[in-house]
Structure 1
Amino acid sequence: MLKHTFKYATESSRDFVYRTIQESIVEFYLRPNERISEVAISEELNLSRTPIREALILLESESLIEVRPKVGTYVTKIETDSVKTVVFMRKVIEAEIIRLACEQFSEEDFAAVSQILNAQKTLLSLHDEFDSLFSLDNSFHQAIYKAVGKEETWFKLQKLSSPFNRARKLDIMLGNAIEKRIDEHEELLEIIKNKEIEKIDDFVKKHLNNVDDLLERLHENFSEYFI
């Protein structure tokens, strides 16, 4: 089953199909090793098979799906090494993004990002809000990139981040470390507000250095999803 989403006015049919399937894979509407059917997607989205085929080619190039000759098309498993690679990239990039935020953030920027953080806190009291928590977690970081004029960097990074995002979504589904993430987001806003540049490197290490613990938890609970 695909994630239900709306087509943006500016989106082509191919881009809409790509985004729908990509989000469905990352958010586990489509699970690793699940078969992908062009016919089923065509019927569900009420689209011809041409944009679906084009979208699947893009998804295969990003290693989110694989074509098994004479067998079919399947959602790939999550590569452990790819998760670690993405975390390494994010540590390098996000340290610089936070430095820019310390230099450039306006009161309006701070208020906008704080609003997202407050929404995360509200969702903590609700049940079965994994999709919303995951979405707001991404929105929080994207808003910081956007505020410092680096939203295009965020979009390009997301193209490479599917392995890590899939792992993060699984961890949220387990209910692990959600409060810790929100506490760290609050700490990050304090660093930006007070322009505490000297704290950035230690914060980034703390926020992203738990990848080995994350992968160990996930392998214990979802070993069939990883290679």
Structure 2
Amino acid sequence: MRIERNSAWELDPAVPITPQITRILRERIIQNDLKPGDRISESELARAYDVSRQPIREAFIKLADQGLVEVRPQRGTIITKIGYAAVLDARFLREAIEADIAKILAADPDRHVIAELRDQLARQASLDRRDPGAFIRLDELFHRTLAEAAGKGGAWKQIEGLKSQMDRVRYLALGEFGIETLVRQHRAIVDQIELGDVAGSNKAVRHHLREVLKDLPQIVEANRSSFQLPDGDMPLPVNAPIQGGN
């Protein structure tokens, strides 16, 4: 089994191993380094990372809960296809939760939080466009910062496990959906929060999360073998009018 040279995928012996292995494998799946249909082996990964098989086994269980792998007894562990229905469910949940998070922040804007978010926007804008993985990590930080600032860090942790399939699509989409556009949408969210515009912040988040997947049918068509489609058919467009702006 190949292990790509990536400093973000190296183990820190001073930190618990299982969460690191889980994160590394999750990132490799999301970034399509491990592709749908690939087989992964406890023993090979244990040798590659120089750890026992126990943390690998525990990581497989967590990844299976997220729908990223299928553990087949006596047959091995397989990277799953991207579940189309799971992508839509994740977007729905993120929109419902994060729109309310933005409303909480806009109701009482905190200048320290705004300053931190502006700093993150600057870092997002300065990234090398050839490194989409770096943008996704900053994107995660941005949305987590919003949740924690609203006192909803626990809700964000719940979302993280549910949105893995959406994250796989987001990584494929970065080639079609420019980082500049995503940064601009992030900036619009921060602008509305800073203005104290509750309805505007709600709408900005909903627009952002729907636009991220607006090209989903085209992405599916370009990567058809990577998706599990409803009844094997090409799905209808996913977007609906923005609602819940108040």
Partner of 1:141: 143
Q: Secondary structure at the match of 2:35?
A: coil
Equivalent pair of 1:80/1:215 in contact (CA under 8 Å): no
Give me the TM-score of the superposition, normalised by structure 2. Answer: 0.84
Could you say if the C-alpha distance between residues 112 and 77 of structure 1 is closer, same or farther in structure 2, counting changes exceeding 3 Å?
same
Partner of 1:7: 12
The residue identity in structure 1 corresponding to 2:12 is: K
Equivalent pair of 1:26/1:169 in contact (CA under 8 Å): yes
Greater Cα shift, 143-152 or 80-89: 143-152
The residue identity in structure 2 corresponding to 1:63 is: G
Unaligned runs of at least 5 residues, structure 1: none
Measured in 2, the distance between the counterparts of 1:6 and 1:13 equals 7
Q: What's the offset of the Cα at 1:162?
A: 0.3
1:47-95 superposed Cα distances (whole Å, 9 cap, x missing partner): 0111211221222222210133543211100000100001111111111
Q: Secondary structure at the match of 2:126?
A: helix
> Which of 55, 60, 63 is the matching residue for 1:56?
60
Measured in 2, the distance between the counterparts of 1:218 and 1:139 equals 25
Equivalent pair of 2:170/2:212 in contact (CA under 8 Å): no
Q: What's the offset of the Cα at 1:225?
A: 0.7
> How many aligned positions are there?
223
Q: What's the offset of the Cα at 1:119?
A: 0.8
The 4+ residue runs of structure 1 with deviation greater than 6 A are none
Give me the TM-score of the superposition, normalised by structure 1. Answer: 0.90
Q: What's the offset of the Cα at 1:142?
A: 0.9
1:79-138 superposed Cα distances (whole Å, 9 cap, x missing partner): 001000011111111111001111343221111111111111111xx3421111111111
Partner of 2:208: 207
Partner of 2:69: 65
1:219 paired to 2:220: yes
Q: Which has the higher helix share?
A: 1
Equivalent pair of 2:37/2:80 in contact (CA under 8 Å): yes
Q: What's the offset of the Cα at 1:8?
A: 7.6
The residue identity in structure 2 corresponding to 1:188 is: I
Equivalent pair of 2:11/2:17 in contact (CA under 8 Å): no
Could you say if the C-alpha distance between residues 184 and 7 of structure 1 is closer, same or farther in structure 2, counting changes exceeding 3 Å?
same
Measured in 1, the distance between the counterparts of 2:46 and 2:170 equals 29
